């Protein structure tokens, strides 16, 4: 099967369930010395209207045999890579062009299986990527965990799950913690680590829409409009903006920053598109911290972060503490990129502790579809 053929959008069969595997194939992850094997997978997930959608991912099998009782499946969500083009993690890792493998390698060295979702709209051709739509990404994470559980041909044991993400990936795994009790109660999600997380997009919308981050503002506009395509969100665009969006939705993150350095307002009819009635509604829907994740949450941030201000991370911490979440916090004297690398050993230690502790919830057998229950 050719590279492009594998990622052709499949027709989902009648009776498909979220988490069902559609197709798989082994690939070689040349950048990862700690990987004994790798599988590209296409599986079923759901969109914002509960519609069934195909999604793609890569599952990495460790070379190291974990210590008894320390087997784990890590759901890993990297930062934003782009809206389109060849920027899906499952593609980058199979071609040896993934820009940051340090955290992945460190998890493999612990003997953990690492499963990396591409996110909706990347890889399998349904784009553009739903960037900033944390709940869309969260469903893709939880359904990938289901797919790993059900993937008999992957020859992997059912094991406790932990989740880890950074920046937009951090928003995704944090949202997965909120959704797990009712969306995927059979997934034994023990702990979550998330760096540079924004719980309230309203607080940073203007900052990511101008200056050095202007490309992120346009990408966020496109990603959220794709996730909520049932809403009239594109009415704020100017004629030039319509053309810009048509081009931008096919670009990688690097290409977006180079091609679209202008403020988001340059492409819209008014100076503050986020203040539109429909856009305020979407930003409210994407606010995190409304519910309490039942598992521990470990948040971290760089004090010198110019991409996601540290005050945004502190606000996220406060929001979850107010809900009674078991949440920890650490700041690093570093910028956005350096903080991600500095935190790796701390994150793995924290998640390792979560694996050793009793789960906050009892996993429910996937076939029964029974309600989430608390441990006695």
Give the pLDDT of residue 363.
54
What CATH superfamily is the domain 3-199+296-374? Alpha/Beta hydrolase fold, catalytic domain (3.40.50.1820)
Give the pLDDT of residue 14.
85
Spatial CB neighbours of 264, under 8 Å, sequence gap ≥ 6: 209, 210, 214, 217, 218, 221, 273
Helices marked H in the chain: 3-6, 89-95, 102-109, 134-150, 168-183, 214-227, 239-248, 253-259, 277-285, 310-322, 336-342, 344-356
Highest mean pLDDT among 15-24, 165-174, 250-259: 165-174
Task: Annotate 200-243 with DSSP letters as a single string.
Answer: -GGGTTTGGGSGGGHHHHHHHHHHHHHHTTTS--GGGB-HHHHH
Give the pLDDT of residue 2.
53
Q: Is the dihedral of CA 83, 87, 89, 91 positive or negative?
A: positive
Give the pLDDT of residue 50.
85
Mean pLDDT, residues 134-153: 91
Distance CA 309, CA 317 (A): 13
Distances (CA, A) of 146 to 10, 60, 347: 19, 16, 23
Residue-wise pLDDT for 197-207, tens only, equals 999 998 888 88
Mean pLDDT of the chain: 90
Q: Is the dihedral of CA 271, 275, 278, 282 positive or negative?
A: positive
Using pLDDT thresholds of 50, 70 and 90, give the confidence band for residue 369. very low
Residue-wise pLDDT for 297-355, tens only, equals 999 999 999 999 999 999 999 999 999 999 999 999 999 999 999 999 999 999 999 99
Fold category of 202-284 in CATH: 434 Repressor (Amino-terminal Domain) (1.10.260)
Residue-wise pLDDT for 253-271, tens only, equals 989 989 999 999 999 998 9
| Lookup result for tokens 């930003």 | 283
The answer on pLDDT for 358 being more than 70 is no
Give the pLDDT of residue 235.
93
Mean pLDDT, residues 231-239: 93
The answer on pLDDT for 365 being more than 50 is no
Residue-wise pLDDT for 19-67, tens only, equals 999 999 999 999 999 999 999 999 999 988 888 999 999 999 999 887 7
Percent of the chain exceeding pLDDT 70 equals: 93
Question: Which 3 state secondary structure label does DSSP give 116?
Answer: strand
Using pLDDT thresholds of 50, 70 and 90, give the confidence band for residue 219. very high
Give the up-direction half-sphere exposure of residue 298: CA atoms within 13 A in the CB hemisphere.
21
Distances (CA, A) of 241 to 123, 210, 227, 269: 25, 15, 19, 9
Mean pLDDT, residues 117-142: 92
Phi, psi of 214 (to 5 degrees): -55, -35
Give the pLDDT of residue 206.
82
Mean pLDDT, residues 59-87: 89
Is the CB of residue 182 less than 8 Å from the CB of residue 295?
A: no
Question: Which 3 state secondary structure label does DSSP give 8?
Answer: coil
Give the pLDDT of residue 375.
30
**Domain ranges, ordered by start, for the chain:** 3-199+296-374, 202-284
CA geometry: angle 206, 336, 34, nearest 5 deg: 135
Give the pLDDT of residue 64.
87
Distance CA 120, CA 280 (A): 22
Token duo for residue 140: 């893709």
Whole-model pTM: value is 0.92
Using pLDDT thresholds of 50, 70 and 90, give the confidence band for residue 372. very low
Strands 189-195 and 373-374: unpaired
């Amino acid at each position: 099967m050719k590279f492009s053929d594998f990622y052709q959008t499949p027709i989902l069969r009648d009776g498909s369930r979220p988490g069902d595997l559609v197709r798989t194939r082994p690939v070689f992850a040349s950048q990862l010395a700690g990987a004994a094997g790798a599988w590209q997978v296409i599986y079923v997930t759901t969109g914002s209207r509960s519609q069934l959608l195909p999604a793609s991912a890569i599952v990495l099998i460790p070379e190291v045999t974990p210590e008894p009782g320390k087997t784990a499946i890590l759901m890993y969500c990297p930062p934003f890579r782009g809206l389109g083009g060849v920027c899906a993690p499952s593609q980058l890792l199979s071609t040896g062009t993934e820009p940051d493998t340090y955290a992945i390698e460190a998890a493999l060295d612990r003997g953990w299986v690492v499963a990396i979702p591409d996110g909706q709209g990347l890889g399998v051709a349904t784009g553009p990527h739903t960037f900033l739509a944390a709940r869309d990404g969260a469903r893709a994470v939880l359904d990938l965990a289901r797919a790993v559980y059900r993937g008999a041909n992957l020859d992997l044991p059912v094991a406790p799950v932990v989740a880890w993400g950074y920046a937009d990936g951090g928003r995704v795994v944090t949202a997965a913690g909120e959704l797990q009790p009712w969306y995927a109660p059979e997934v034994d999600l023990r702990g979550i680590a998330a760096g540079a997380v924004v719980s309230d997009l309203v607080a940073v919308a203007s900052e990511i829409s101008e200056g050095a981050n202007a490309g992120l503002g346009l990408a966020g506009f496109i990603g959220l409009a794709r996730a909520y395509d049932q809403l009239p969100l594109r009415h704020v665009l100017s004629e030039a903006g319509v053309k810009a969006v048509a081009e931008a939705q096919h670009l990688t993150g690097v290409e977006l920053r180079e091609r679209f350095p202008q403020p988001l307002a340059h492409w819209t009819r008014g100076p503050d598109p986020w203040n539109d009635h429909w856009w305020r509604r979407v930003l409210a829907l994407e606010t995190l911290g409304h519910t309490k994740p039942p598992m521990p949450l470990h948040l971290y941030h760089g004090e010198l972060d110019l991409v996601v201000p540290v005050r945004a991370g502190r606000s996220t911490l406060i929001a979850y503490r107010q809900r009674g979440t078991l949440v920890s916090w650490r700041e690093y004297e570093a910028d956005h990129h350096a903080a991600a690398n500095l935190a790796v050993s701390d994150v793995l230690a924290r998640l390792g502790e979560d694996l050793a502790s009793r789960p906050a919830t009892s996993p429910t057998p996937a076939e029964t579809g029974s309600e989430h229950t608390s441990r006695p």
